[in-house]
Amino acid sequence: MKIEINNHFTPDGKEFYYWILYDGPDGIEEARGFAVDLVEAMAKILEWRERIARDYCEEGNGPA
């Protein structure tokens, strides 16, 4: 798993975060998104990790 989180600013100076998650075998699964703060970014990343793990378990590719 690899996570990238970068902060950016809107033209009017408001901060937001852009995140990328690489997960699954050899990091082949990728999810991206935006968040208004780090707490929201981490919550979304954890949500995507659970979705990816669930997909692999449902496909019979082993435990999450």
Six-digit token pair at 49? 């990790």
First to last CA, the chain: 13
Tens of pLDDT along 31-63? 999 999 999 999 999 999 999 999 888 766 555
Tokens 């600013």 belong to 9
In the chain, which ranges are E strands? 2-9, 15-23, 29-35
pLDDT of residue 58: 76
What pTM does this model have?
Answer: 0.82
